[in-house]
Amino acid sequence: MEKENLLHRSWEFQKERYTGKSKNMTLTDNLRYTPIKKILITLIILAGSFLIPSCKVAYTFTGASIAADVKTFSVYYFPNRARLVNPTLSSDLTEQLKEKLLRQTSLREEEENGDLIFEGQITNYEVRPMSIQKEDMAAQNRLTISVRLKYTNNRNHEQDFDRTFSSYEDFPSNLNLTDVESNIVPEILEKLLDDIFNATIANW
């Protein structure tokens, strides 16, 4: 009986030794493979970092949606080719477009050859009668301004276009255009600039 007890204790001791050794080996193996795991994770991150620049990552800023590789813009002077000429309209349109792009995006302005190029001309500036009263007199007149825009995206020429934008404001027919011009032209320009911005920067 005593011999059997000794054998049993010896077996339990050996069992504990092997169990402890197994635990130690597991801990050692974990320590050994942890650096390898770190290296693998680092390699995966590095591989991802090389892939990211090739992707067209877009971001938004006050309504803008711009590819990450687009950094600059250029706005060329818009000459006035309309029959009826407002002497300040060309400069107003050109400068206000620049200001809008600077204010609503993080893009930098370049005099020429920017990543995005805005150029074109004013093609229409006219007044027409609108609603007619019983006495065949127009109750409202409408001032319409049209701008032809050639937009070039030097980072993605699939987005290039040549398009005409138009906007208008009505005013009472008993007033002359010169009486309301200073009030309604800025309103028309604002709508035109919003349309241009949405079609180019916001991609609407």
* Largest pairwise CA distance in the chain: 132
- CA dist 99 and 27 (Å) reads 64
Predicted local distance difference test score (pLDDT) of residue 107: 98
- Full-model pTM: 0.69
Predicted local distance difference test score (pLDDT) of residue 134: 60
Residue 24: CB atoms within 10 A of its CB come to: 10
Write out the chain's pLDDT in tens, 204 residues: 554 554 455 555 455 554 544 444 444 455 455 666 666 666 665 555 444 444 454 444 456 789 999 999 999 999 999 999 999 999 999 999 999 999 999 999 999 999 999 999 999 999 999 877 666 666 899 999 999 999 999 999 999 999 999 999 999 999 999 999 999 999 999 999 999 999 999 876
Q: Is 147 helix (H, G, I), strand (E, B) or coil?
A: strand
103 contact partners, CB below 8 Å, separation of at least 6: 62
Pick the CATH number of 70-200 from 3.40.50.2030, 3.40.190.10, 3.30.160.150, 3.40.1180.10: 3.30.160.150
Residue closest to 145 by CA, chosen among 165, 172, 162? 165
- CA dist 197 and 164 (Å) reads 13
In total, the chain counts a number of residues equal to 204
